[in-house]
Structure 1
């Protein structure tokens, strides 16, 4: 997966997913809050319906109690609260079909006459809630004004009372007058059972008077429903014990039946039912009628508005996310393009193009990364050049070492009792040390020890050139001082810079044991006498090529049988140990004095071991070359 795709994926996860989660969380929270508020309002309305039902039944109890308190003679006379029985009957006529006061009073004629006058050609269940309220008020008023309806009620009541009086006068009277006793207190009880409403007075557990009304339950519930406020298109309803459903109209009935929920069933306990787009709250009728009042609160519009608001907010959020994505695409493209260029440059360097660089156009993190890469590439290129140069030098030094090794004598030289041998201990870097010995035409032995300045092939070639020149000139029997002077001029003319060589050249006659020698700026060499004495063969001129034109002096030394000649380069005396101390000339002289009387081979082995032990594993910085001649 590319960096650009990962950036877009991270942006998506960090923006769209939290936005979706927050939107869903907000929607669910608002939905729960809306449903909670709707449920509370529906519960309040259901409670209000129950209270309204209780108020209506209280009014029914009050009006029907007036009929109990009235007598036939005063059926239309004043009652205790200022209303006559006729007034009570007129108010009951809209809610009660029949009233039985020790008999039955049919109120249907009254109501039909009044309704026919008030709403001609229409039925009560066709009226709206507001119209029902208006009709009820108008009927009550007309019942007081229209004497025809009142007279019908009076005649019916008078007839019932007359029959009761006739029955009472036909009973035989008692001959004895009972003593006066205190009349027991009466209790009045009222109750609504289904559509039957009873108001009775009891004395000593016996019913002394009773009024029973057959309630027109739909009209009564319409009055209850109409008197309740509805702000959110709520649908009030009631369910009887037998499962009969009561609503304000057929439309409300269809809406309640369409809910298809057990909440509108008579067998279900009152409570709250949350439907996808409705909230239904039911509560019991406190009057004991067995009714269950309910409010169906529609939530569809509120939920739809909430969904639209949520979708709108989500769309706005996604719009901003889209704008941010459009803005971030060029940025990610620029970032990945710069990184791609950086990656290409890395690949070029990996394939050996150490001159690869990237163009830095910004000062941000990517720009700083580009500059750091360019600096790294420059360092790598410089390091690579250094490695190449080191490899070149290594190969040059290896070649120089090979040249040096090839020019050293491989076997000792023995002439009678005279023995010549040497050794060179190489350092990590190739130096310009050399030694050589070879036999001349007259039977003498040429002895060469030198050290060329510089390292590598140049020093090795100069050393080879010097040895070749010396071999040629020595074969001609030339004077050693003149030979050194000519060699000095040749080196100065054939080399550039300050290149020079220290040189000890000698010719040893095995028969006479005489040594002719010239020391051109080299370390002092030694004659080790058999009796332990040491003679130094010091320098007799400047190094070859250092100060051209100088003079050299040839010297002679006489050796005896058993004496030793010890030749060396500065790598012996300049050898250092780990503490930085040098082996030094004094240690070398002690070592030579101790080797007096021994063989040349023993002296060579002893000297090599002494220098190695002194270094104690410390890396040598220069070659250590040694050569020994034992006079026979």
Structure 2
């Protein structure tokens, strides 16, 4: 560190201190509004530190400082000038001290305004993205609350569900409905599309299902027709959902179901035999005139029902091969003795690891095991 004496301070001089490289000290000068600018490490200017006696000071107002220092005895050979690259506002002035060290004052007010304008413009360009990110975060929180927060108690059935959206929010939906009198509703749906639009349709479906579920056990076909009508009336033309709806009776162990254009549910019997619950009607929400049918199966201890969306079976590997039903069954059988949440995690993980690409579709599963 060294000090350069300029006329005008209390002792007849102004102190200019040369600071160590990298110092962030703001009071490089005894005059307010001025600071030394340290060039980036590794730059040509940085390498010249200590090799030159020339210094540049940035200030907001060269003319005011020029007049002040001139009154205090600093000799400027020329008045403040506008550089050839200026626009009539930026100025600079040069002077030397008695030791031959050269100094320059450079006005940075215009540069600051330009940079600030660019910063604000960039911030304005990014604001829609930040706003969308905030909206997505809120939508994710809301959507998380749409999934079941508790499980109705059933003596003869253990069950679990999981959903892994491909994006921040998704269009897959699962639910467990308390139908009263020891009866449970199992719902798995796949909304057409992805992202916010699919999430909004999912919310409509959830509201329709929960608001109408009081009629589900006695009149399941009427219940599903009502859900279809609500979807049809409250969504855009062409929007729809595949839907698997099942009712389980705790006393009889009977399962009634309707498959509305959804991938077939898989029933793994205790003896390892397999049954598929294929489509019984078309997708929900697409047509105003719509009807469905219910089918029934009786479950026995150790029977397991697996429901899934096509994001599981249609996951692609690097060769364009689908994960498929066979791999789904193989993984399920391999982990069948695990607690159900761990079984679902293993299946979802296997499907995601199968594809080397970013997850393309939501992965959602329900498993229910008779005890």
Pick closer, same or farther for the CA change 1:406–1:583 going to 2, 3 Å. Answer: same
Q: 2:234 aligns with which of 486, 494, 504?
A: 494
Pick closer, same or farther for the CA change 1:584–1:349 going to 2, 3 Å. Answer: farther
Residues 275-297 of structure 1: CA deviation (Å, up to 9, x unaligned): xxxxxxxxxxxxxxxxxxxxxxx
Aligned to 2:209: 470
Aligned to 1:513: 253
Distance 2:321 2:277 in 1: 25
Helix, strand or coil for the counterpart of 1:619?
Answer: coil
TM-score w.r.t. the length of structure 2 is 0.63
Aligned to 1:337: 87
Helix, strand or coil for the counterpart of 1:491?
Answer: helix
Alignment of 1:426-441 (within 5 A): 426-441=165-180
- Which is further off, 419-428 or 622-631? 419-428
Helix, strand or coil for the counterpart of 1:566?
Answer: strand
Aligned to 1:552: 292
Gaps (5+ residues) in structure 1? 1-328, 355-379
Residues 50-93 of structure 1: CA deviation (Å, up to 9, x unaligned): xxxxxxxxxxxxxxxxxxxxxxxxxxxxxxxxxxxxxxxxxxxx
Measure how far apart 1:483 and its partner are.
Answer: 2.2
Helix, strand or coil for the counterpart of 2:300?
Answer: coil
Paired residues of 1:399 and 1:456 also in contact (CA < 8 A): no
Measure how far apart 1:445 and its partner are.
Answer: 0.4
Distance 1:484 1:339 in 2: 73
Q: Say yes or no: does 1:589 pair with 2:357.
A: no
Q: 1:538 aligns with which of 249, 268, 278?
A: 278
Distance 1:567 1:588 in 2: 11
Measure how far apart 1:457 and its partner are.
Answer: 4.4
Aligned to 1:346: 114
Paired residues of 1:500 and 1:544 also in contact (CA < 8 A): yes
TM-score w.r.t. the length of structure 1 is 0.39
Q: Going by fraction, where is strand more abundant, 1 or 2?
A: 2
Measure how far apart 1:446 and its partner are.
Answer: 0.7
Alignment of 1:76-95 (within 5 A): none
Higher-Rg structure is: 1
Q: 1:622 aligns with which of 333, 350, 361?
A: 361
Helix, strand or coil for the counterpart of 1:506?
Answer: strand
Gaps (5+ residues) in structure 2? 1-80, 91-109
Alignment of 1:303-382 (within 5 A): 336-337=86-87, 346-347=114-115, 349-352=117-120, 354=121
Paired residues of 1:566 and 1:628 also in contact (CA < 8 A): yes
Paired residues of 1:397 and 1:455 also in contact (CA < 8 A): no
Helix, strand or coil for the counterpart of 2:86?
Answer: helix
Measure how far apart 1:431 and its partner are.
Answer: 1.0
Measure how far apart 1:529 and its partner are.
Answer: 0.8
Pick closer, same or farther for the CA change 1:343–1:601 going to 2, 3 Å. Answer: closer
Paired residues of 2:313 and 2:324 also in contact (CA < 8 A): yes
Pick closer, same or farther for the CA change 1:489–1:607 going to 2, 3 Å. Answer: same
Paired residues of 2:352 and 2:359 also in contact (CA < 8 A): no
Helix, strand or coil for the counterpart of 1:415?
Answer: coil
Which structure has more relative contact order (CA 8 Å, sep 6+)? It is: 2
Q: 1:484 aligns with which of 215, 224, 227?
A: 224
Q: Say yes or no: does 1:409 pair with 2:148.
A: yes
Measure how far apart 1:566 and its partner are.
Answer: 0.6
Helix, strand or coil for the counterpart of 1:336?
Answer: coil
